[in-house]
Structure 1
Amino acid sequence: MFEEDGRLRVVINDEEQYSVWPSDRDLPDGWRAEGTEGTRDQCLAHIDLVWTDMRPRSLRTE
């Protein structure tokens, strides 16, 4: 999928779901940069800290 030593960034969509994406690639439609960049492990550790409710935003607000 992604090179293990490549630089990644944390991305988030309108439903407040997180993922990682290569820093040197354009973001896919519907996703925006969250502000965190680093190794895969660093990005996933950040996601673990901030994504505490895995439900999409639309389900949390009902």
Structure 2
Amino acid sequence: MDDNATFQVLVNDEEQHSLWPVGKELPEGWSRVGKEGTRQECMDHVDAVWTDMRPRSLRERMAVDSQA
């Protein structure tokens, strides 16, 4: 992997995050969150914002189950 490449942070409908090289076509189901930079800068951003690694659907289902 090229450490000098510029990356962007992506998110999917399940609110999972990923890094993706800038300029490469986005994979289906993923969208940009607006953060670009070095691999490390993007990883730092993901670490700061993605604090619950469970998919959104699981978090929602668990919230409903805990209210029952």
Secondary structure in 1 aligned to 2:53? coil
Gaps of 5+ in 2: 62-68
Q: Cα RMSD (Å) of the superposition?
A: 0.6
User: Between Structure 1 and Structure 2, which shows a larger proportion of helix residues?
Assistant: 2
Which residue is 2:33 aligned to? 34
Gaps of 5+ in 1: none
- Rg bigger for which structure? 2
**Runs of 4+ that moved beyond 2 A:** none
Residue correspondence of structure 1 range 44-55 to structure 2 within 5 A: 44-55=43-54
**Alpha-carbon distance in 1 for matches of 2:30, 2:3:** 22
**Alpha-carbon distance in 2 for matches of 1:35, 1:56:** 21
TM-score by length of 1: 0.95
